[in-house]
Amino acid sequence: GENVEQHPSTLSVQEGDSAVIKCTYSDSASNYFPWYKQELGKRPQLIIDIRSNVGEKKDQRIAVTLNKTAKHFSLHITETQPEDSAVYFCAASEGLDSGGGADGLTFGKGTHLIIQP
Residues that bind other proteins in the complex, under the rule CB under 8 A: 1, 4, 6, 32, 34, 36, 42-46, 49, 89, 91, 93-98, 102-110
Q: Minimum CB separation from other proteins for residue 9, in Å?
A: 9
Closer Cβ to other proteins, 11 or 32, answer by number: 32
Report the distance separating Cα 104 and Cα 85, nearest Å: 27
Q: Minimum CB separation from other proteins for residue 93, in Å?
A: 4
Q: Is the dihedral of CA 33, 20, 63, 39 positive or negative?
A: positive
30 vs 45, 64, 80, 82, 92, CA distance in Å?
21, 16, 30, 33, 6
* Cβ pair 86, 10 in contact under 8 A: no
Closer Cβ to other proteins, 17 or 63, answer by number: 63
Q: Minimum CB separation from other proteins for residue 40, in Å?
A: 12
Closer Cβ to other proteins, 16 or 104, answer by number: 104
